[in-house]
Structure 1
Amino acid sequence: MSGPSLKKQDAHSLIHEAALNEAKELREIYRKCIEDGDNEKALHVAEIIIEHWESRTLQHAEAEETGLYKEMMKENPALEEIVHQLTRDHDLMRKIVDNMKARLQIKEADLKMISLLDSLIIIDEIHNEDEMNKLLSNSA
């Protein structure tokens, strides 16, 4: 069973918005480190970024998949396709975070990480919009 705020469009939207805004701020801090040539600090910020995505967005995604999405499909089986699309978004984000973790293991702090962060942000923005407009707009 999912928490009550996951089914409430306004509350759910605020959860997404807060995590996404934090992710954008961290991306800018990382970019500044790269521009300044501070590889050590950039690597530290990258660790924080990965922890952020794992603990905020991907943990939230897990709660959606194991609770909210199942409940919504049980209530309305016609939502199956959108739930599959939303779950695919989560899978893409997980793969990108795994890629970032692999780069961090080899101490890669460069512009490629910014591209990965931009990809995460874009996927998350589209995902959040779809979740609000295609899934939660159908709930009571």
Structure 2
Amino acid sequence: MSGPALRKIDSHSAIHEAALNEAIELTNLLDQLVIKEQHKKALEVGYILVEQWETRTLRHAEEEEAGLYKEIVKDNPDLQSEITALTRDHNLLRIIIKDIKEKFNEEKTISDNIVQLFQSLIIIDELHNQKEMEVLPEH
């Protein structure tokens, strides 16, 4: 069973918004550091950003998948395809984070490509959050 904050649209939306806004701010900072060629600081922010995605967004995703999504499908089996798509979004986020971490280990620096990967996480998460809010009211 999922926690009450996940089942209430306003609080669930606030969770998404807070995590996403934090990710956007950190990504913008990362981009500026890369542009200014402040590589050491950029790498530090990059590691913080990975941790932020893992502890805020992906941990939240795990909670949704373990409880909320199962409850939604149990109550309304017609939403299975929407829940499958939302879970796929989570998997895309996980794949990109894994790719970023591998690039960190290989390159030991932050490239424009890594900044673009972080920006892609934001786009996926924004679209995911919009769709999830469409599904939740039906729950």
Matched residue, 1:7: 7
Of 30-39 and 46-55, deviating more is 30-39
Aligned residue for 2:113, secondary structure, equals helix
How much has 1:117 moved relative to structure 2? 1.0
Q: Percent identity?
A: 49
Matched residue, 2:132: 131
| Residues 67-113 of structure 1: CA deviation (Å, up to 9, x unaligned) | 10001111111110000000000000000000110111121311111
Matched residue, 2:65: 65
Q: Structure 1: which 4+ aligned runs deviate by more than 3 Å?
A: none
User: Which residue identity lines up with residue 45 of structure 1 in the other structure?
Assistant: V
Summarize the alignment of residues 13-52 of structure 1 with structure 2, pairs less than 5 Å apart. 13-52=13-52
Question: How well do the aligned residues superpose, as a CA RMSD in angstroms?
Answer: 0.7
Q: Distance in 2 between matches of 1:96 and 1:3?
A: 27
Matched residue, 2:93: 93
Aligned residue for 2:110, secondary structure, equals coil
Matched residue, 1:56: 56
Matched residue, 1:120: 121
Matched residue, 2:104: 104
How much has 1:32 moved relative to structure 2? 1.2
Q: Distance in 1 between matches of 2:115 and 2:73?
A: 36
| TM-score, with length taken from structure 1 | 0.96
Q: Distance in 1 between matches of 2:119 and 2:33?
A: 16
Structure 2 unaligned segments of length 5 or more: list them. none
How much has 1:45 moved relative to structure 2? 0.5
How much has 1:36 moved relative to structure 2? 1.3
